[in-house]
Amino acid sequence: MSFQEKRDSENHGDPPTTAQPMLPTTGIQIPAAPAKSRDRIHPAFYVGVWISLSSAVIIYNKWILDPKTTNFRFPIFLTTWHLLFSCVATQILARTSTLLDGRKAVKMTGKIYLRSICPIGLFFSLSLICSNKAYLYLSVSFIQMLKATTPVAVLIAAWGLRVESPNLSTLKKVIFIVLGVMIASYGEILFDASGFIFQVFGIGFEAVRLVMVQRLLSSAEFKMDPLVSLYYFAPICAAMNFALFLVFESGSLGVSDLLRVGWLTFLLNALVAFCLNVSVVFLIGKTSSLVLTLCGVLKDILLVCASMVIWGNPVTVLQFFGYSIALFGLLYYKLGADKINEQYARLRGLAPGTRSLTNRRLGIGAATLFAVMVLGAMRQYHGRYPTLDTGHVRVQPSYTPPSFIPNNRGSRSRLDIVIGMLQEDTQTIHDQVEEILSLPQLSNLETKVIVYSMDEMADLVSLKKETGADAVEKIPNIGRETGAYLSHILKQWDNLADHTLFLYPEIEDFDHVKARIEDFFLPSTGMLSLGFGHRECSCDTCRDPWVSANTWPRVPQIFSAVYGEICPSTNILLSYGSKFIVSLKRIKGTDKHIYQHLKEILESDEKHWIHQDERQLGMEDAPHNSYFGRTLERSWMIIFKCSETRLVKSCPGLDTRRKPDDWDDVCQCLDAE
């Protein structure tokens, strides 16, 4: 987060008093705007510019730091760059314009700068660093929800530093905010403890900074506008950040990291951030603190919506409900019941002397954005597990047998056989594929064999000839066969077959695999596991059903990412062994960005948080054999939304054969006709 992103504090950081002069940029209380002269530009223009720039800075920073885009994992450097740019820009403006003339009224001395500005700068630097660090782990939508607690943090800091006395009435007002954010946090399906801690510390440091600024501004001679504040704070903050950069990031930052982002990107990023401060100066002069508060809430809703659209960040109904409570609490804390009623009357055009048309337009805009967030949340919500309906796949909630159709062996237009291999015997692969293709169920299908080689020394021409594959491609040796499967799904997303058979080479129980395909593969097959069997585990604490000493702590996150909700109290279905046939409907029943997210985590370097997971003694966590990859191997039933735990009893092992009077779904999840 840059200096300019702390404009969020304008929305969330008001301390409980209004008796003392305040800094506009601190988010404490914005002083009454001076008398305005007639301006041909409507105030709505300044509001729009401020919301656009404020949102752009946050989205821009997230884009730079996000592992999914440029993967620039140096937030301290980015913050230092913003502050250095601000130092130069404010010095230029001070000498070439009147925007910084307000600094002449500030009685700043070396002693005051050292005793007051430097400590504030320290907490400001820490706040910026922690907030930017959070972008490495959390979604923009969840970060904005957590920022709603800033008034609570400011209140606690004011009490702790004895700037204000504890007040029960004020405490009651912020309870709604705390309650709402707690619900939103509980509903966050991509929750990460490290990112949460960084954001909480960032909010805490910012709260202390705001209270220290309030103390400084208790005298009218230190009253400053946002640009003047930046003029004084940017140099010391830049120096402190640079020192931290030398300690923590300079050793790992290379020229290639900078070039990957691009110098023009860095320049535009800093320019947008600085322009935000300039826009605040004009906005304060054209509107009021009330308008800025309401626009701040509107901006937060907009950012949540943008996060859902740009990054595909899922927002659950529970999370939306919690955030709604937090936003109501935020407005109640800032405005009070009387002011809310007054503004409601204005929006309806009932209050005399108001611009009812303008207010109505603002209300319509807020309601529209709010509706977008609701629809976005509902789009990603698929109902309660396990009776889920994805729109593509019909999943039976319990074992209610379909009509048995004897010898119903219809055909699909195409079946792809996808194999991920390293250095296995090519003749064995060739022979097993030929046996599968000879099955009568596949005789009417258009088939294609695709081999993904993870051997960097492999000769693709020879490999294609020896395996009899139709296509061969070389990929990095990351994540075992799981990496190959995810690569295929993403690369062939627009050209996936009606069914895909995923295999790894040298199948020890090949006869059982072949028998399972012969017994159960149908045109209506949705997900047919060819692994050792079906088992179930508790979603919250998934203990491996095959090796009880092993646990899989990331199963809840995988479930939540796929289904868009928190883990259920019931058990979930697992399969062991990465061999299965899955339909096009099942693959696309899970959003593409989920596969991208899983692949990025699977391919992450050793610094990524996923590699900090506690694992069992002797369990390897290397790029070619990652611990997270083993978790995914057991989670394909979750990913393809085959939730029918009845399979544990009806089809416990791969040696289960079909009996003459068995239903079609004894060992599989079926698609709707």
Plot region of 407 (φ>0 → left; ψ -120 to 50 → alpha; else → beta): left
Decide: 555 and 638 in contact? Cβ < 8 Å: yes
Strand-pair partners of 486: none
**528, β-bridge pairs:** 581
Q: Token pair of 344, please?
A: 């409601």
**Residue 580 domain flag:** yes
Could you tell me if 460 and 471 are in contact, meaning their C-beta atoms sit under 8 angstroms apart?
no
Say what the pLDDT of residue 496 is: 93
Q: Quick one: 422 and 563 in the same domain?
A: yes
Output b/e per residue, 571-601; b: 16+ Cβ within 10 A. bbbbbbbbbbbbbbbbbbbbbeebbbbbbbb
More confident residue, 307 or 560: 560
Q: What is the dihedral angle through the alpha carbons of 258, 264, 269, 274, rounded to the nearest 10 degrees? A: 120
In b/e form, how buried is each residue of 557-570, taking b as 16+ CB within 10 angstroms? Answer: bbbbbbbbbbbbee
Residue 117 domain-assigned (yes or no)? yes
Q: Helix/strand/coil (H, E, C) string of 641-672?
A: CCCCCCHHHHCCECCCCCCCCCCCCCCCEECC
Q: How confident is the model at residue 189 (pLDDT cuts 50, 70, 90)?
A: low
Residue 163, CA distances (Å) to 156, 166, 205, 210, 381 in order: 10, 10, 16, 11, 45
Q: Is residue 342 part of a domain?
A: no
Tens digit of each residue's pLDDT (9 = 90 or more) over 589-642: 888 888 988 888 888 877 776 777 777 666 777 777 788 888 888 889 999 998
DSSP string covering 442-510, please?
GTTSEEEEEEEE--TT--HHHHHHHHT-SEEEE--S-SHHHHHHHHHHHHTGGG--SEEEEE-SS-TTH
pLDDT band at 329 (very low <50, low <70, confident <90, very high): confident
The predicted pLDDT at position 335 comes to: 64
Across 456-461, average pLDDT: 88
Instruction: Kindly state whether residues 492 and 639 are assigned to the same domain.
Output: yes
Instruction: Provide mean pLDDT across the span 542-562.
Output: 79
520 is a domain residue = yes
Task: State the pLDDT at residue 419.
Answer: 93
Q: Provide the angle, in degrees to the nearest 10, between the axes of the packed helices 168-186 and 140-147.
A: 160
Question: What is the crossing angle of helices 168-186 and 317-347, to 10°?
Answer: 140
What is the DSSP track for 585-624? HHHHTS-HHHHHHHHHHHT--TTSGGGGS---TT---BTT
According to DSSP, residue 547 is labeled S
495 burial (CB, 10 Å; 0-12 / 13-18 / 19+) is exposed
Among 627, 463, 39, CA closest to 286: 39
How far is residue 121 CA from its own chain's centroid? 30
Report the amino acid identity of residue 526. G
Q: Which range of residues forms the domain containing residue 486?
A: 414-605+619-670
| End-of-domain residue from the set 259, 286, 313 | 286
**Across 39-68, average pLDDT:** 80
Distances (CA, A) of 281 to 79, 98, 348: 22, 12, 30
Whether residue 323 is contained in a domain is answered as: no
Tell me how far apart the terminal alpha carbons of the chain are, to the nearest angstrom.
50
Q: What is the mean pLDDT of residues 235-249?
A: 88
Per-residue pLDDT for 36 more than 50?
Answer: no
Domain boundary among 286, 302, 328: 286
Distance separating alpha carbons of residues 25 and 3, to the nearest angstrom: 10
Question: Do residues 491 and 630 both lie within one domain?
Answer: yes
Q: Looking at residue 187, what is its pLDDT?
A: 55
Give the Cα-Cα-Cα angle 295, 64, 82 (nearest 5 degrees). Answer: 70
Last residue of a domain, one of 286, 308, 334: 286
Give CA–CA dist 46/419, Å, rounded. Answer: 57
- Give 73-87 as a DSSP string: --HHHHHHHHHHHHH
Higher pLDDT, 279 or 295: 279
Model confidence at 346, pLDDT cuts 50, 70, 90, reads low
Strands 499-503 and 571-575, bridge-based pairing: unpaired
pLDDT score at 541:
81
d(CA 327, CA 145): 9
Q: Which long-range contacts (CB under 8 A, 24 or more apart) does 493-497 make?
A: 493/592, 496/416, 496/584, 496/587, 496/588, 497/412, 497/414, 497/415, 497/416, 497/448, 497/584
- Helices 43-65, 356-380: axis angle to 10 degrees equals 20
Using left for φ > 0, alpha for ψ between -120 and 50, and beta otherwise, residue 353 falls in left
The reply to whether 421 and 569 lie within a common domain is: yes
**Burial class, 81, CB count within 10 angstroms (exposed 0-12 / middle 13-18 / buried 19+):** buried
Mean residue pLDDT across the chain: 76
pLDDT: is 113 or 366 the higher one? 113
The pLDDT > 70 percentage for the chain reads: 73
- Domain count of the fold of the chain: 2
Q: Which one-letter amino acid corresponds to residue 576? A: Y
Could you tell me if residue 501 is inside a domain?
yes
Closest of 330, 297, 28 to residue 177, by C-alpha: 330
Contacts for 271 with CB less than 8 Å, ≥ 6 apart: 85
Q: What is the pLDDT of residue 597?
A: 84
Q: What is the pLDDT of residue 32?
A: 43
Coil vs helix vs strand at 300? helix
Q: What token pair was written down for 625? A: 């054999």
* pLDDT tens per residue, range 390-439: 333 333 333 333 333 333 334 457 999 999 988 888 899 999 999 999 99
Give yes or no: residues 279 and 425 share one domain. Answer: no
**CATH number where 591 lies:** 3.90.550
Is 386 within a domain? no
- Are 89 and 95 contacting, i.e. CB atoms less than 8 angstroms apart? no
pLDDT for res 394: 37
Instruction: Measure the CA–CA gap between 209 and 72, rounded to whole angstroms.
Output: 28
**What number is the average pLDDT over the span 361-371?**
50
The pLDDT tens digits for 108-153 are 888 888 887 888 888 888 888 888 888 777 777 778 778 777 777 8
Strands 580-583 and 525-529: antiparallel
Over residues 489-510, mean pLDDT:
88
**What's the pLDDT at 221?**
61
**CA R_g for the chain:** 29
Distance CA 621, CA 110 (A): 54
Cα distance between residue 207 and residue 114, in whole Å: 20
Classify residue 156: in a domain, yes or no.
yes
Residue-level pLDDT at 85 = 94
Report the range out of 64-78, 88-102, 326-340 with the highest average pLDDT: 88-102
User: Could you tell me the CA-to-CA distances from 89 to 5, 50, 92, 96 in Å, in that order?
Assistant: 17, 19, 5, 10
